Structure 1
Amino acid sequence: MTLDELPLGATARIIAADWGALVPEEAQRLRALGVEEGAEVRLAYRGVFLARDPIAIEIARMTVALRRVHARAMQVETMPSGGTASAA
C-alpha cells in the first residue's frame, strides 16, 4: 500500500521510498523532515477536491503537507494502535 492510499487517521510505517520518482530537491527536503524508511506516520488530512491534494501526515511532533505524487512514492505498512507493525 502506498501512503496516499492510507485511510484517514490510520498509522503506518514507511517501509520503502521510490526516491528516483521524485525531483532530487523534493526528496532531500522530505528526508530532512524525517519522511523516510522506518518513520512512523499518521494520515491527518486529505484534500477534498478532485486531486485530493494536499495530504498532511503527522510524523513525530510535526505535521507535514505532501503532494499526492510524493505520498504515492512511499510504500507503507499499517500499524495497530499498540505501535507494532503488521504486514499490509
Structure 2
Amino acid sequence: MRARTCSARLRRNEGNPTRALREWEQRMRPFIAAQQHLGREELVTFVPQTRRDQAARTVLRQLATTPGGKRALTALNARKAETRSIYVAAP
C-alpha cells in the first residue's frame, strides 16, 4: 500500500522526485506517527519493564482465556484496530 502511494506521487510529479517524495512523506506522516505511538503504548505488553507490568500482562493473558474476558479484550482492541487501519493509499 505504501509503495503504491509513493509510485502514484512519482507519476503525478513526473520529473520532480523531490516534490513527489515530500508529498508522499506528508501523506504518510500521520500513519507512521500513529504506528509509532501504538508501538510505544504496547511495548510493556511484550517487554514488561516492572513487576507491575509483568503482573498486568499475566492477568490479561489469563483474562483472554475466559469467554467474558475475550469479549472485553476484543472490544478494547477494536478501538486500537481503527488506528492500525488508517487508509493512506493515493486518492
Instruction: Say yes or no: TM over 0.5.
Output: no
- Report the TM range for the smaller structure's normalisation: under 0.3
User: Greater helix share, 1 or 2?
Assistant: 2
User: Greater strand share, 1 or 2?
Assistant: 1
Rg comparison, structure with higher value: 2
**TM-score normalised over the length of structure 2:** 0.20
